[in-house]
Chains A and B, each alone.
Chain A
Amino acid sequence: MTTTTTGSLAFDRIGMVFPDGTEAIRSVSFTVDRGEFVTVVGPSGCGKSTLLKIASGLLDPTSGAVVVDRDRLGYVFQDATLLPWRTVRRNVELLAELHGLPAKERHRLAADAIQMVGLEGFENHYPKSLSGGMRMRCSLARTLTLSPPVFLFDEPFGAVDEITREHLNEETQRLFQAEGFAGLFITHSISEAVFLSTRVLVMSARPGVLVAEFEIPFDYPRTPDLRFEPEFAKLSGEVSHALRGGHT
């Protein structure tokens, strides 16, 4: 594992212009360290998902550079992207399988990860019989098997209902505390961003530029009730204001 002085994940003046001429991102720089949970909020189409694709190497930026160890990068997609022909257990084992780990090791890692996300008892279920929230848990467990030092989340809970989303947020927070990874989370939900993060970055639309940065001072573990604290509301309001184009 290579640890750089600039952090576990560093974006250095990243710019992205698509072949059709759309400028998605302009000169974005920031770092995420281990033990940090950074969320990027922005209107849809502002290029925040593109940022993750660049971080993971799925896309090459047209300018700037990314510093990250891509060996065991955790990437949680918008969809659960489970393989429907595999049971929960076999889905969770997939990454370990792709990395060529022996069967015994795979089973152990999968069992641990399944337990961490609370899917015990569903190991032999196929994705078609799982709810949206459970599929997302399964997807989280799959990523957890590699204990990734850097965890990328691409609006993972956008498709589930509000209640499930809150549960999954708590789950994510718990995993973050247990694993201490460097987390980069993309969302368009302000309350999700403030609830989860140590730091919130606000991105503007087209071209995507970072317009504001907020330190979120609350201690972990954060309880669901935090959402109703005045301090939480105040911070959310400021993030919202920045999103709407005001300057802080």
Chain B
Amino acid sequence: MSLTDDRRTTGDGADLGAADDPELVHEAPAPAPPPPAWRRVAAVALPPFVLGVGILAFWYFISYGILEERRRFLLRPPHQVIDKGFLDWDAFSTILGGLWSSTKVALMGLSIAIAIGMFLAIIMSQARMAERAIFPYMVTLQAIPILAIVPLISFWFGTGQTSRVVVCVIIALFPIIVNTLFGLQSAERGAHDLFTLHHANRLTRLRKLMFPAALPAIFAGLRISAGLSVIGAVVGDFFFGRGEVGIGQLLRRYANRLEGEELLAAVIMTSALGVVVFWTFGLLQTLVIGKWHEPGSGGR
């Protein structure tokens, strides 16, 4: 409105007409042309880059400015971490090996959690009674801190690979159940009526209506659970040391030996794994439902 305000003074009592005058609208300054590609990339990439440089500078400051020489092992400067953690092949291959072992545990745990979680959610979606019966226990299970049941798990499953997978399953299960159940219940009432009118049976309704409608919520749950399963694998590995050496064991070993460079490298690689898993499932989501799903429209 303010753009045309100054012009209105010329019209006597023609304020209302001026607002509708197409000529005045056209005289408003044209919107700026879209910025060139490099500017858009820069707008996205520059802020995190600048912050990253800032963090590195702060890191150096702590390593050299605050810690004196004999305490510097607490935080080695970045270039030493890269040198000894990433560029030294022996150290780096050990980290990669541990990471791979933990990735296998995470994937196995996630797969089992998906199978159990979806199965339970489907059962609950089919019968209110089942939902009422199962749900409180799921919430209870979710509320137990994983550390509290670590002794129990080692008691039952030993201290090897199995126990690590069990930790993953327990930690990743809840979001899958909740999101799948929520998704299965998200189909529109009208669509249900349509299926009822045309005498669709339970299985048809599940396959053609409830399950596809649940996909967006299922993927949201999968992304959360995938991240959690990585955490579960690391935590499980940290406590259950028998068998293959995973990243949790390595973290513990490096910490015990005061190998700060390798420790930091292992931490960075672990978080990289988490990011890769998160993005992988995001990509999977886009591939499967990106074509039809409108983000922000709920489960529809």
Q: Residue A58 at the B interface, CB < 8 A?
A: yes
Q: Is the CB of B292 within 8 A of A128?
A: yes
A57 to B198 CA separation, bound complex (whole angstroms): 11
Tell me the complex Cα distance, A58–B199, Å: 11
Given that A98-B204, A128-B294 are known contacts, is A81 also in contact with B198, CB under 8 Å in the complex? no
Contact between A85 and B198, CB atoms less than 8 A apart: no
Q: Which of A73, A77, A79, A98 is B200 in contact with, Cβ under 8 Å?
A: A98
Chain B CB within 8 A of A99 CB: yes
Q: Is the CB of B190 within 8 A of A84?
A: no
Q: Tell me whether B190 and A78 are in contact (CB under 8 A).
A: yes
Q: Are B197 and A81 in contact (CB under 8 A)?
A: no
Q: How far is the CB of B284 from chain A (nearest CB, A)?
A: 16
A103 CB to nearest B CB, Å: 15
Total contacts A-B at CB 8 Å: 54
Is A95 interfacial (CB 8 A cutoff)?
yes
Instruction: Using known A-B contacts A78-B190, A126-B292, A128-B294, determine if residue A83 contacts B212 with beta carbons closer than 8 Å.
Output: yes
- Whether the pair A84, B200 counts as a contact (CB closer than 8 A) is no
Given A57-B197, A126-B291, A128-B292, A83-B209 contact (CB < 8 Å): yes
Given A83-B212, A98-B199, A98-B204, are A77 and B291 also a contact pair (CB < 8 Å)? no
Of all chain B residues, the one with the shortest Cβ separation from A56 is B197
Chain B neighbourhood of A127, CB < 8 A: 292
What residues on B are CB-neighbors of A78 within 8 Å? 190
Q: Which residues of B contact A98 (CB under 8 A)?
A: 195, 198-200, 204, 208
> What residue in chain B is nearest A57 (Cβ atoms)?
B197
| A126 cross-chain contacts in B, Cβ below 8 A | 291-292
Q: Which residue of B lies closest to A128 (CB)?
A: B294
Q: Assuming the A-B contacts A77-B193, A78-B190, A79-B188, are A84 and B294 also in contact, with contact meaning beta carbons closer than 8 angstroms in the complex?
A: yes
Q: Which of A93-127 contact B (CB under 8 A)?
A: 94-95, 97-99, 126-127
**Do residues A85 and B212 form an inter-chain contact, with CB atoms below 8 A?**
yes
Which residue on A lies nearest to B300, using beta carbons?
A: A84
Number of interface residues of A (CB under 8 A): 21
Closest to B291 in A: A126
The one of B196, B198, B204, B300 that contacts A95, using a Cβ cutoff of 8 Å: B198
Distance, CA A75 to CA B199, complexed state (A): 13
A75→B194 contact, CB < 8 A: yes
Q: Are A81 and B291 interface neighbours, CB within 8 A?
A: no
Let me know if B134 is at the binding interface, CB within 8 A. no
Are A85 and B190 in contact, CB atoms less than 8 angstroms apart? no
**Majority-rule SS of A interface residues:** loop
Q: List chain A residues, Cβ under 8 A from B300.
A: 84
B215 at interface, CB cutoff 8 A: yes
Are A85 and B215 in touch, CB under 8 angstroms?
yes
Q: Which of B173-203 contact A (CB under 8 A)?
A: 188, 190-191, 193-200
B289 at the A interface (CB under 8 A) = yes
- Which residues on the A side are within 8 Å of B191 (C-beta)? 81, 83
Q: A99 to chain B: which residues have CB within 8 Å? A: 198
Q: Contacts of A77 on B, CB cut-off 8 Å?
A: 190, 193-194
B293 interface residue, CB < 8 Å from A? Answer: yes
Task: Tell me if A73 and B197 are in contact (CB < 8 A).
Answer: yes
How many angstroms from the CA of A78 to the CA of B189 in the assembled complex?
Answer: 11
Give CA–CA (A82, B204) in the complex, Å. 16
> Is there an interface contact between A85 and B292, defined as CB atoms closer than 8 Å?
yes
Task: Kindly provide the distance from the CB of B56 to the nearest chain A CB, expressed in whole angstroms.
Answer: 43
Shortest Cβ gap from A156 to chain B (Å): 11
Which 6 interchain pairs have the tightest Cβ spacing? A81-B190, A98-B198, A126-B292, A85-B212, A77-B190, A85-B292
* A residues whose Cβ falls under 8 Å from a Cβ of B: 56-58, 73, 75, 77-79, 81, 83-86, 94-95, 97-99, 126-128
**10 additional contacts, CB 8 Å, given A77-B193, A85-B212, A99-B198?**
A58-B196, A77-B194, A78-B190, A81-B191, A83-B212, A83-B213, A84-B292, A86-B292, A95-B198, A98-B204
Name 12 A/B residue pairs within 8 A (Cβ), A-sorted.
Answer: A58-B193, A75-B193, A77-B190, A81-B193, A81-B194, A83-B209, A83-B212, A83-B213, A84-B292, A85-B215, A85-B292, A128-B297
